[in-house]
A and B are shown apart, each in its own frame.
Chain A
Amino acid sequence: EIVLTQSPGTLSLSPGERATLSCRASQSVSSSSLAWYQHKPGQAPRLLIYGASTRATGIPDRFSGSGSGTDFTLTISRLGPEDFAVYYCQQYGSSVKTFGQGTKLEIK
């Protein structure tokens, strides 16, 4: 089973700043099969990125994903007030699909 470790656990930033979230895999993720989700309390999680770097439909271009192998990054170029949430990565390149434990992005 591929273990995904996200860092930092909590990120405190101000609106307008740049956010960089990390997701590290315990072994190589096949075919860059990595997705990122945003989750706000009481809402459905939302797909942001799939294939490590492809934005899902309707996702603003301030969200970008990068990486391959074992190291992946989600970058939010300029934080809007609506971006403060918990972010999860998920790998789907193996038969056992796994998620990271999440990064909470909070307002500083």
Chain B
Amino acid sequence: EVQILESGGGLVQPGGSLRLSCVASGFTFSKYAMIWVRQAPGKGPEWVSGISGSGYAADYADSVKGRFTISRDNSKNTLYLQMNSLRAEDTAVYYCGKGHQEWNSGYYYMDVWGTGTTVTVSS
């Protein structure tokens, strides 16, 4: 059974940093893209970033480009999201998802999601 578990969320001040982690099991981790999606209160989901199974390709939403960095450690079946220069508008539940293929040139959907971790940016 595929399982995904996010951690690392919390309360952080504007301008601060946070690193999210996502541990996956039940599939060959290195063969699939992994994705971060967030959902602010009362809004629809927003794609944040994705990374290929090998880790050599990644993409970002414009809203986080230059501030967030996605990475993965295939030896630990773990995905990360380093979030710097956080803003109030980054407040959301952050979901980790398994991509349906290794990368597919960056055209992917999520076939399994975690339950999310909450990030609150506030002074």
A positions within 8 Å CB-CB of B: 30, 33, 35, 37, 42-47, 50, 56, 88, 90, 92-102
Would you call B109 an interface residue if the criterion is a C-beta within 8 Å of the partner chain's C-beta atoms?
A: yes
Contact in complex: A102, B44 (CB < 8 Å): yes
Chain A contacts for B115, CB-based, 8 A: 42-44
**Which chain B residue shows the least CB distance to A33?**
B107
Of the A-B pairs whose beta carbons lie under 8 Å apart in the complex, a sample of 27, sorted by A's number, is A35-B109, A35-B110, A37-B110, A37-B113, A42-B115, A43-B115, A44-B95, A44-B112, A45-B95, A45-B110, A45-B113, A47-B109, A47-B111, A47-B112, A50-B100, A90-B45, A90-B47, A94-B107, A95-B59, A95-B106, A95-B107, A99-B37, A99-B44, A99-B46, A99-B47, A100-B44, A101-B44
Q: Which B residues are CB-close (under 8 A) to A35? A: 109-110
Binding site for A on B (CB under 8 A): 4, 37, 43-47, 50, 59, 61-62, 95, 100, 106-116
Q: Chain A: interface secondary structure?
A: loop
A-B contact count (CB 8 A): 60
Which residues from chain B contact A47 at a C-beta distance below 8 Å?
109-113
A92 touches B107 (CB 8 A): yes
Task: Give A63 Cβ to nearest chain B Cβ, in Å.
Answer: 15
Q: For the complex, what is the distance from the CA of A106 to the CA of B114, rounded to whole Å? A: 24
CA distance A27 to B101 in the complex (A): 25
Bound together, the chains give a CA A89 to CA B86 distance in angstroms of 28
Residue pair B109, A98 in contact (C-beta under 8 Å): no
